[in-house]
Structure 1
Amino acid sequence: MANSLSRPDQGDIIALFARAGYAARGLVYVLVGGLAALAALGEGGEATDSRGALESVLSAPLGQVWLGAMAIGLVGYAMWRCIQAIKDTDHHGTDTKGITVRASLLVSAGIHLMLASFVVRLIFAFGGSSGGSEGGSQGVAHWLMKQPYGPWLVGALGVILIAVGLAHAAKGWKMSFDRHLDMSPTMQRWTYPICRFGLATRGVIFLFIGAFFIIAAYSVNPNEAGGLAEVFDTLRNQPFGPWLLGFVATGLFAFGIYSLLESVYRRVNPDS
């Protein structure tokens, strides 16, 4: 008698990891946006980057368990990004624009794999911080500066980040994310404004970070590079700083909601 139980389809397993990855990314941005919003309101939050937000989870009940689940999700997201890039599941094509988008997916995979590694280090060094200048944007800038043509590499990365920021803003403005979401018209009416706001805000963040890298390249000083925490500091020091910080924090929270929606409604077709 044939065994009625069959092995799970490989595509289903990949889709599960992809959705877990979108959920993990969403939770990270909800944390980042929520903490920054509290800081803007003077309610005790901290405007920090994704690493700082993940460190804050340690003090929560079952913090290590939550971090472990998020690490698995981030690895799943990195895996899905690689599949998207290699198999071209979203049909970007092989022209210059398509290759650029697919290359950016591989970069995204690397970034989220590094973030997952950071989470694992947090779990096994409970109570201690794994952050610092050796990690994050300045760490990347320091490493690139040590390579041949280092300042040019740092500057090129800045240009790429600005291009990614513009692409995010365009994606939100044109609602081109629509083709990837399987959502009812009723859901679209109240979720799409959130998605557009979140994508536009993340685009602005990339513009800032790209500018920091270009400044670092021009000054040949990797310490001028910066990430999300430095963007928050820059905004806070402007006129109406708390208002600007609160606005951007709300946008990043919205991007987190967008990612959580993707974990449920995104079309994930590993075999396409």
Structure 2
Amino acid sequence: MNSSKLSRQVSRKEPAKWIEYLARFGYGAKGLVYVVVGFLAFQAAFNWGGQTTGSRGAFWAIASQPFGKAMLFVVAVGLLGYVVWRFVQALKDPEHDDDGAGAWARRASYFVSGLIYGSLAIFAMRIVFGQPSSSGNGGSGNSTAATLMSQPFGRWLVGFVGVAVIAYGFYCFYRAFSTKFRRKLKLHEMSEKEEKFSTRIAQFGLTSKGVVSVVIGYFFIQAAKTYDPSKARTTEGALQAIQQQPFGAWLMGLVALGLIAYGIHLGVQARYRRISPS
């Protein structure tokens, strides 16, 4: 009887452990994508040969390196692991965040995040196996807005997306300045210097991600107001808009460094995040 109980406990724990490994792999893969996006944008800010791009453009940049498709395959698998983790968060609330009126909204955001990164993982796999017909960034904001605009109440849908993205941007600001992200890190496993560094790099990264999100949301709202989906932008367009401002090169360079910092923050999460899949 005792042995059967033990075997049932092991069978319950094994899948959870695999999910934890996938989640950590996923955070690392997502972090690498942000580092590449930020690095290319930083180069572009000062005309050093880079380009403003988003996640899909980063995939092409990775694929163009020596052994790039093998590297991209690893990134795609990592993103699929992140997708699995997001769906687990949405369905099971493994981190016990289910504590109030915002619980269902939080679960919905995890589910949407899983869908978004699932589509990115599929796009990366298509590059690996030579299926995309273009080396462009693909999946631009105006194509998303055009799809939404063609639906019933499409203009309102586009506007809602804009408001939601801006709200997410301010949530990033809140996370940066409240430092609540520290609660999900195994701080006891860090040295004092590592803890301080991880906090500062996360604050910088989350602030920059918030800035980009607010700019993207603004463009979606403009698309809704003018009934013109071509006005919508994604990360690439947001960075270009920042570059066009006074002192734009310096502003974009700063935001680009912030995106690199956000990628490093995700790498820290890959190593030190408290992940309880069961």
Q: TM-score, normalised by structure 2?
A: 0.91
The residue number in structure 2 matching 1:147 is 151
| 2:176 maps to 1:172 | yes
Contact kept, 8 Å, 1:122 with 1:128, in 2: the verdict is no
Deviations 1:19-78 (A, max 9, x none): 111001000000001111111232211121111111011221111101111111111111
**Distance across 2 between alignment mates of 1:208 and 1:67:** 28
Give the 5 Å matches for 1:72-221. 72-93=77-98, 95-125=100-130, 128-129=133-134, 131=136, 135-183=139-187, 184-186=190-192, 187-221=194-228
Residue identity over aligned pairs, in percent, reads: 40
Q: Which amino acid in the other structure matches residue 227 of structure 1? A: T
RMSD: 1.9
SS in 1 for 2:236: helix
Q: Which amino acid in the other structure matches residue 56 of structure 1? A: A
Contact kept, 8 Å, 1:55 with 1:129, in 2: the verdict is no
May I ask how many residue pairs the two structures share in their alignment? Answer: 267
**Distance across 1 between alignment mates of 2:93 and 2:145:** 30
Q: TM-score, normalised by structure 1?
A: 0.93
**Distance across 2 between alignment mates of 1:155 and 1:91:** 32
How far the C-alpha of 1:90 sits from its partner, in A, is: 2.7
Give the 5 Å matches for 1:232-271. 232-271=239-278
Contact kept, 8 Å, 2:222 with 2:232, in 1: the verdict is yes
How far the C-alpha of 1:103 sits from its partner, in A, is: 1.1
Structure 1 residues 132, 253: CA separation in 2 closer, same or farther (over 3 Å shift)?
A: closer
Contact kept, 8 Å, 2:83 with 2:117, in 1: the verdict is yes
**Distance across 2 between alignment mates of 1:131 and 1:98:** 37
**Distance across 1 between alignment mates of 2:48 and 2:258:** 18
Give the 5 Å matches for 1:1-16. 9-16=14-21
Unaligned runs of 5+ in 1: none
Structure 1 residues 141, 126: CA separation in 2 closer, same or farther (over 3 Å shift)?
A: closer
The residue number in structure 2 matching 1:54 is 59
